[in-house]
Amino acid sequence: MFQNFRLTMAWLHTWFGLVLGFVLMVVFFFGSLSVFDREIDRWAIPATRFEPQPMPSFDKILKPVFQDMKPDAANVEAAKSRVNGPIAQSFPVINTWSAYTTHRDPVLGLFAGYELPNAKDPEDMVWGNRTIDPRSGASLPDDHLKIGSQFFYPLHYSLNLNWKSLGTWIVGFAALMMLVALVSGVVMHRKIFRELFTFRPKKHTQRSALDLHNLTGVVALPFHFIFAFSGLVIFGGTYFPITHTQLHPLHELHEKHEAAETGLPHDRANVPGTLASVDTMVTEAQRRWAAQGMAGDVGFLVVRHVGDANAYVSIYRAGTDRIALVGNGIHFKGSTGDVLREDPPQTAVASVNTFLTGLHLQHFRHWLLRWLYVLGGLSGCVCIATGFIFFVEKRKRQHAKQGVTGARWVDAFAVSTVTGIVIAALTMLIGNRLLPTDLAGRGDWEQAIFWGAWALAFAHGIWRTAPVASARMAPAWAEQCWAIAVLGVAAVLLNWVTTGDHLLRTIGNGYWPVAGVDLAILASSAIAVLAARKLHRRAQGQLTPSGTDAGAAAALETARA
């Protein structure tokens, strides 16, 4: 089919990158935003703009909130198809209470799992959740969307397409093909080390786009490879659901055998039981961690078989001082507070898994490394965007002569993906500041604004890329860059007007979560202005008499490269 192996790799790199690049652009961009998802949450919900808090007292603050919780109405509605007969009206059996926090969370997320009567799967549950101020236990409105952690973060690994985990499967396939594209990219570039130091921004668009594509691809190659691979590892249970499909009976038997070995009850005793002081258990867990040279705070706490004689409490350490995502769990008998088990040292395989998981999720406390993650993710965005541009620039003249519109449609999808997602994200933040605080279903409105803005950007991209069919530069890129600039400034100004938290105040008070989001938005606006002006100059250059000659020279130079 091809003359040599290198040309085969070039074909793979081109077409896998083109078809799946649109998905990977979303993954990289929103993955970069997810590095600071908690900070975006604080920007989006002004009521959470206070310092991060440790896990509060369970006995005094968390337990009363848990006892007041009920299953979420939407979760109960979704469970109607998972039961035999009509859905129950009450859910008296509580399977779990859990609380989770990080060193960047000012608020605390609580979750409760309730047994689902007449469920087709005996282990099925319905869930309730609540977000509280850990200082007082006061609840925050349930319909206030945490834009960073509840929308941008899942968008980067699931595209927020949750039906049968469809989005997770799409992203997984894109990540797998990204590994192929990375390897094929290395093979097809014979002068990879020279390309690491080559960037000619003043050359024609095709040449400078290829230079920047190579540069960002080579510099961040280890980052891109590790994150694609570790993402596949994290969702391995979704892609290969052996324990809950082919080996389900064996999985159940293994769980019961493991429970017998560890002393942690697998089933309820169906005998009422009391719960001893969980605060005392937390104190004992921290004492044991300190004795092992790992003093730390509680990151995750869960009570299983609530209200039953077999209830037990698991307390996990917040591992902010290490990369590997480990919790050093200590488990207590619920009724007495006696220690049932301390998690043993991990096996070599489990250690590799927790290291890769922690490396990807970056829950550790290291601000410089977090920014390097952002730069690595954004370099992936630049690499993909310049790949799109190179593809279009290389083919648009040939397609124009042949009367085909392939390059035009690729450019339309590219501009809608590259600049369109930025427009959608900024429009969502603007909507967040403009929508009334007490608006019912406020989070649903914010999500609708995001998808609506992205749809408009897509329609604009299709409309304003028509000149590509005539081998000219599409004005859509510059116009959407100007839109990003205006929307970014508007978002920062609206944050000031609606909350009073302008940059002089937030920087002066050292409140960097909100100040950082504002500064990042303004930096995006500044970059968009520079890009728009650059694109305008290049479009003007195409209108000069020498533009045709320059295009011919560009094609010749790229062919030689």
Give per-residue pLDDT as tens, 111-125. 999 999 988 888 889
Q: What is the pLDDT of residue 296?
A: 84
Over range 315-323, report the average pLDDT.
Answer: 87
d(CA 382, CA 209): 10
d(CA 354, CA 360): 10
Task: Give the least confident one: 74-88, 415-429, 516-530.
Answer: 74-88
Helix/strand/coil for 14: helix
Q: What is the CA radius of gyration of the chain?
A: 27
Q: What is the pLDDT of residue 255?
A: 63
376 residue type, one letter = G
Mean confidence (pLDDT) of the chain: 86
Q: What is the pLDDT of residue 373?
A: 92
d(CA 51, CA 67): 27
d(CA 555, CA 549): 10
Q: What is the pLDDT of residue 249?
A: 61
HSE on the CB side for 84, CA within 13 Å? Answer: 5
Measured from the Cβ of residue 345, the count of other Cβ atoms closer than 10 Å reads 8
pLDDT band at 127 (very low <50, low <70, confident <90, very high): very high
Ramachandran area for residue 120 (φ above 0: left; ψ -120 to 50: alpha; else beta): alpha
Q: Is the pTM of this model over 0.85?
A: yes
> Residue 148 above 80 pLDDT?
yes
d(CA 440, CA 445): 9
Phi, psi of 484 (to 5 degrees): -60, -45
HSE on the CB side for 303, CA within 13 Å? Answer: 30
> Residue 299 above 80 pLDDT?
yes
Q: Give the helix, strand, coil percentages of the chain, each rounded to 5.
A: 60, 10, 30
pLDDT band at 41 (very low <50, low <70, confident <90, very high): very high
Over range 478-505, report the average pLDDT.
Answer: 95
Q: What is the pLDDT of residue 560?
A: 39
Query: Measured over all CA atoms, what is the biggest interatomic distance in the chain, rounded to whole angstroms?
Result: 89
Query: For residue 155, what are the contacts with CB-CB under 8 A and spacing of at least 6?
Result: 26, 30
More confident residue, 12 or 366: 366
**Pick from 162, 165, 181, 154: nearest CA to 21:** 181
Q: What is the pLDDT of residue 194?
A: 66
Q: What is the pLDDT of residue 167?
A: 92
More confident residue, 498 or 8: 498
Over range 140-160, report the average pLDDT.
Answer: 91
> Residue 220 above 90 pLDDT?
no
Task: Give the least confident one: 395-409, 445-459, 483-497, 504-518.
Answer: 395-409
d(CA 502, CA 507): 9
Q: What sections of 235-292 are H helices per DSSP?
A: 236-239, 248-262, 278-291
Measured from the Cβ of residue 540, the count of other Cβ atoms closer than 10 Å reads 11
What is the Cα 373 distance to its own chain's centre?
12
**Pick from 462, 458, 385: nearest CA to 416:** 458
**Pick from 340, 316, 320: nearest CA to 328:** 316
Q: What is the pLDDT of residue 298?
A: 93
Query: For residue 207, what are the contacts with CB-CB under 8 A and spacing of at least 6?
Result: 200, 554, 557, 558, 561
**String of DSSP letters for 35-55:** TTHHHHHHHH-GGG-S-----
Q: What is the pLDDT of residue 325?
A: 81
> Residue 544 above 60 pLDDT?
no
> Residue 422 above 50 pLDDT?
yes
Over range 388-411, report the average pLDDT.
Answer: 86
Task: Give the least confident one: 126-130, 286-290, 344-348.
Answer: 344-348
Task: Give the least confident one: 13-17, 164-168, 224-228, 252-256.
Answer: 252-256
pLDDT tens digits, residue range 233-245? 888 878 877 655 5
- C-beta of residue 387 within 8 angstroms of C-beta of residue 17: yes
d(CA 389, CA 216): 14
Over range 469-474, report the average pLDDT.
Answer: 82
Q: What is the pLDDT of residue 512?
A: 92
HSE on the CB side for 236, CA within 13 Å? Answer: 9
Over range 314-320, report the average pLDDT.
Answer: 90
Q: What is the pLDDT of residue 459?
A: 95
pLDDT band at 555 (very low <50, low <70, confident <90, very high): very low
Q: What is the pLDDT of residue 60?
A: 95
Q: What is the pLDDT of residue 71?
A: 93
pLDDT band at 391 (very low <50, low <70, confident <90, very high): confident
Helix/strand/coil for 247: coil
What does DSSP assign to residue 345?
A: P
> Residue 557 above 80 pLDDT?
no
Q: What is the pLDDT of residue 31?
A: 94
Q: What is the pLDDT of residue 546?
A: 45
Q: Which two tokens stand for residue 309?
A: 């004689």
Percent of the chain topping pLDDT 70: 89
Q: What is the pLDDT of residue 144?
A: 85
- C-beta of residue 346 within 8 angstroms of C-beta of residue 322: no
More confident residue, 153 or 212: 153
